Structure 1
Amino acid sequence: MFNQSNITLTCVFIFTLIAIGVYRRRIRPPGPWGLPFVGYLPFFRKNPPRKCTQLAKTYGDIFCIQLGSWPTIVLNSRAAIREALVEQSDTFSDRPAFFSCKVVNNMRSLGFGSYNARWRLHSKIASTVLREFASPNKPTTEKIIMMEAEKLTEYFLENTHTPFDPHEEIFLSVGSVVYQICCGMDKDCRNDKGYLNLIKNTKTMQEFAGAGNPIDVMPWLRYVIPSKATRFVEILQTLMVSTDAIMKEHIETFDQKNLRDVADGLIFAEKKYCRNPTKNQEITKSDIFSTLQDFLGAGFDTSSSTLEWIILYLGHYQHIQEKIQKEIDSVIGTRSVSLDDIGKLPFTEATILETQRISPVVPIGIPHATSKDTVLRNYRINRGTVVLCNFYGTTRDSKVWKDPEIFKPERFLNDLGFINSSLENELLTFGAGRRRCPGDFIAKMELFLFLVNIFQKSYKIAIERRIQTKK
């Protein structure tokens, strides 16, 4: 028979086992099993964001998967993303040592660089320069956007008689805005070989990267399919040659008393910070000049893709298109739209927000990594863990968005007909935390001015032609 001492020891043993089980569950977030060597990769198929959203229904808004050689956590709600990227920003702002990150300026670039004191200074310099030359308060910024918006509208009007694909012209026009802000507004971009080469190389890189780089998560593949790694390096080097040529041209004509654009701003910053590298976190000329490549690479695709989605949705939902047109007619009339009109066209702005929600152009952001061991919601996350933010999943959260699969711009309006700022803040279009996109204000200006300009100048003509055709 058991005596009191034996019973006590047995109870202690049972409770210890339970405690160990609970502790183990807290070490690693729950998640699905994967396969040897490749992990969960084969199960993603063609739509990883949607698959992650489905997995979140089973495992919660923080779950763990194995991506090839890398243990990975996926954050699937706005709350989880903010808890990591904002509340523990220093811990969750690193980048994984992927092959693609390493070859981009040896992990010292703004977009793919390791998170440390040098990167924080680099980020501060980049944001300051961009704000200096692209601020909404600078008339040149609005002038550049309006000029390109008018060119795009003219292209639409010239092709209203037959069906056409606007993709190339939208990409060219939106990209031209960023290029002129960075390299000078006196550029005739459509006849600028440097710009056209940059456009070509950027599209090549996007197409290559869009297909995914399996070498990032399975580094041993470099020895199995070396051509994949070689091709990535070749494309990157071509892009670097383009931006190096731009910087060289600006250095030759640089005048400290007359800073013309972002490239000049970076040259000025290099002279300020690189003369005393020990004092300034060992930041180098190469680090600062590489910022131009980050700005140009990030500024081309996201805004142009969003504008394409807006045009696609409004082509499908004629009643929403007509409502936007009535708002523009009643508020702006025949005068030219300006940045001062932001806030005066709430339904138009709500349509932009709804497009960004239902069709996020960056459904899963650039991978983050943890810089040290940490705890997130009682789960232990080891240093070097890859962190994926499923922004697509946040836009399909039925607790936040009623009927999330339906395109409804009015969801962003409050009872008074103005933008519901609290709901707008639920969107993480431009990321969160220290790695948030520094050029978000440019994208907002572009989308507003491009959309209103297109509708104001082309809608009525299209309607008139449709009426004439019916007659």
Structure 2
Amino acid sequence: MSLLEDSLLQSSSSVFLLGAAVFLLVLYLFSSNFSSQEKGKEPPGPKPLPLLGNLLQLDLKRPYNTLCDLSKKYGSVFTVYLGHKKVVVLAGYRTVKQALVHHAEEFGDREVTPVFYDFNQGHGIIFSNGASWKEMRRFALSTLRDFGMGKKISEGKIIEECRYLTEVFEKHEGRAFNTTQAVNYAACNIISAIMYGERFEYNDPDFQAMVDRDNETIHLTGSAIIQVYNAFPWLGPWLKTLRNLLRNVEDNKEETKRLIKGLKETLNPQMCRCFIDSFLTQKQSLEESGIMDSHYHDDNLVNSVLNLFAAGTDTTGNTLRWGLLLMAKYPHVQDQVQEELSRVTGSRQVRVEDRKSLPYTDAVIHEIQRLANIVPLNVPHITSRDVTFQGYFIRKGTTVFPLLTSVLRDESEWESPHTFNPSHFLDKDGKFVKRDAFMPFSAGRRVCLGESLARMEIFLFFTSLLQHFRFTPPPGVTEDELDLTPAVGFTLSPSPHQLCAVSRQ
């Protein structure tokens, strides 16, 4: 971190000494925001400071914790200001579901923050809106299904990747190691097979660099200094962290373009090998029909591939790493999972169809996802029109945080929301039960489009690893000493740690 960034975080006053003209301008923006009472009562919230808003009241490294605390005081719909930007926070299962599902049109657009606009310029799938987003999401869903998302063909690819991952773990011969890279590479190879039509070797330096850059980007995007940048984008030219982020993104764009170029040179429209082939074929078909200004252009292709590549790696990889860490921390749960696996499947490879016969294992996986809380703030939304919601008036264009942490740890929905408890998903007879408040993939128009693939990956990778290994803390570390504090990032990964994978064969 640069000296400037350090001073930004240590002393807000030194950062925000601006001229009187800027100060008065911000005060004007605030006064105009605060005077919009004509159409109805606005959501309550803590009183903001001029210029800073409520930034000093938030833990910028883990804002979701502060927002959950504020919801206890101000209710399930409340307002905070990030600088001069007004944000409406939605807390609790019923409120988040009501907004995203029952008011999907009003709350369904994406807020593209300054840093995400820097990444994508409004192209791709995750950080886009309007007709382009609708067409890219529709195309992505259709194409992912064509290439087996959630079907037998995907199951085969995942099972094959399980073998490669198991081989990597076996090489450590029970010694402690960091699971991060191997797990991320395995998860990444599943989406790579769909995107590029091939998997990559774990020791491929270009592949390693691409995955590692993505991980660093997701980590830095959630840092405090980038939250400050999103509130005050004029600070950008002086922020070293932002420069590092943009360099990572640009390097991955160049690598993606190189891979696309190779596929384009061997493209056969009659034999689509992957997502990129399908996109290029659609683009070619439209151009041959004389349509030159469609949504099928290079910027949408590159950014869609990058969106799916990152999303398909990070969330699945982090969920698996949380799962292995929790098994090491709670060995009695690991015992029960392994007993059930041995009893139901023996030594054969677990298949997706076995899930219904593995209720305890299924409950454990769901509880891992619930407690891991991978995307605590959700990806920010924005209102597409004026809306009156739960008695409060919210203007068109207002940033909205549907707080997933508050759903997955809603005290009115979960018996022990802050502890690891697989019984949340089991009835009194030990049968698996679905829970409405289980919403790790969000909901509504922006629900994760790769949910079925992610669920299949997590189930097959987790059960395969638990069949082959017993996971324990490193020598000299007790279960109680394993730290469940997440690392800082846009998504939540376990803090750096090592585990021992002891062969059960």
Q: TM-score, normalised by structure 2?
A: 0.81
- For 1:30, the equivalent position in structure 2 comes to 44
Offset, 1:417: 2.9
Shift in CA distance, 70/276, structure 1 to aligned 2, threshold 3 Å: farther
Aligned pairs for 1:33-432 (under 5 A) are: 33-45=47-59, 46-113=61-128, 115-139=129-153, 141-185=154-198, 187-212=199-224, 213=226, 214-222=228-236, 225-273=238-286, 282-421=295-434, 423=435, 425-432=436-443
Q: Which deviates further from its counterpart, 449-458 or 40-49? A: 40-49
Aligned pairs for 1:11-26 (under 5 A) are: 26=40
Offset, 1:162: 2.4
- For 2:7, the equivalent position in structure 1 comes to none
Shift in CA distance, 333/277, structure 1 to aligned 2, threshold 3 Å: farther
Offset, 1:70: 0.8
Contact 1:179–1:195 (CA under 8 A) maintained in structure 2 = no
Q: Which deviates further from its counterpart, 446-455 or 29-38? A: 29-38
Offset, 1:331: 0.8
Q: Which deviates further from its counterpart, 89-98 or 357-366? A: 89-98
Contact 2:48–2:80 (CA under 8 A) maintained in structure 1 = yes
The CA distance in 2 between the partners of 1:39 and 1:160, in whole Å, is: 53
Aligned-partner SS, 2:102: coil
Note the residue ranges of structure 2 that are not aligned, 5 or more in a row. Answer: 1-34, 474-499
Aligned pairs for 1:419-458 (under 5 A) are: 419-421=432-434, 423=435, 425-458=436-469
The CA distance in 1 between the partners of 2:313 and 2:394, in whole Å, is: 35
Shift in CA distance, 273/373, structure 1 to aligned 2, threshold 3 Å: farther
Look at both structures and tell me which one has the larger radius of gyration over its CA atoms: 1
The CA distance in 1 between the partners of 2:112 and 2:290, in whole Å, is: 25
The CA distance in 2 between the partners of 1:401 and 1:435, in whole Å, is: 24
The CA distance in 2 between the partners of 1:92 and 1:375, in whole Å, is: 11
Which structure features the higher share of helix residues?
A: 1
Offset, 1:227: 4.2
Aligned-partner SS, 1:397: coil
The CA distance in 1 between the partners of 2:502 and 2:284, in whole Å, is: 57
Offset, 1:88: 2.1
Specify the code of the residue in structure 2 equivalent to 1:65: V
Shift in CA distance, 353/24, structure 1 to aligned 2, threshold 3 Å: farther
Q: Deviations over 1:219-244 (max 9, x none)?
A: 23235x25454443322211211111
The CA distance in 1 between the partners of 2:41 and 2:245, in whole Å, is: 36
The CA distance in 2 between the partners of 1:121 and 1:75, in whole Å, is: 28
The CA distance in 1 between the partners of 2:348 and 2:188, in whole Å, is: 26
Specify the code of the residue in structure 2 equivalent to 1:258: M
Aligned-partner SS, 2:110: coil
Offset, 1:188: 3.8
Specify the code of the residue in structure 2 equivalent to 1:72: V
The CA distance in 2 between the partners of 1:160 and 1:169, in whole Å, is: 15
The CA distance in 2 between the partners of 1:349 and 1:367, in whole Å, is: 30
Q: Which deviates further from its counterpart, 360-369 or 260-269? A: 260-269
Contact 1:70–1:217 (CA under 8 A) maintained in structure 2 = yes
Identical positions, percent: 27
Offset, 1:107: 0.9
Offset, 1:201: 2.0
- How many residues align? The count is 441
Offset, 1:281: 6.4
Q: Deviations over 1:271-297 (max 9, x none)?
A: 345656879965534324431111101
Shift in CA distance, 193/273, structure 1 to aligned 2, threshold 3 Å: farther
Specify the code of the residue in structure 2 equivalent to 1:370: T
Shift in CA distance, 367/188, structure 1 to aligned 2, threshold 3 Å: closer
Aligned-partner SS, 2:400: strand
Aligned-partner SS, 2:107: coil
The CA distance in 1 between the partners of 2:503 and 2:162, in whole Å, is: 23
Aligned-partner SS, 1:203: helix
Q: Deviations over 1:21-49 (max 9, x none)?
A: 9x779431011122222211222223211
Q: Which deviates further from its counterpart, 26-35 or 444-453? A: 26-35
Q: Deviations over 1:348-393 (max 9, x none)?
A: 1111111111121111111111122211112111121110121111
Offset, 1:325: 0.8
The CA distance in 2 between the partners of 1:104 and 1:147, in whole Å, is: 33
Contact 2:169–2:501 (CA under 8 A) maintained in structure 1 = no
Note the residue ranges of structure 1 that are not aligned, 5 or more in a row. Answer: 1-20
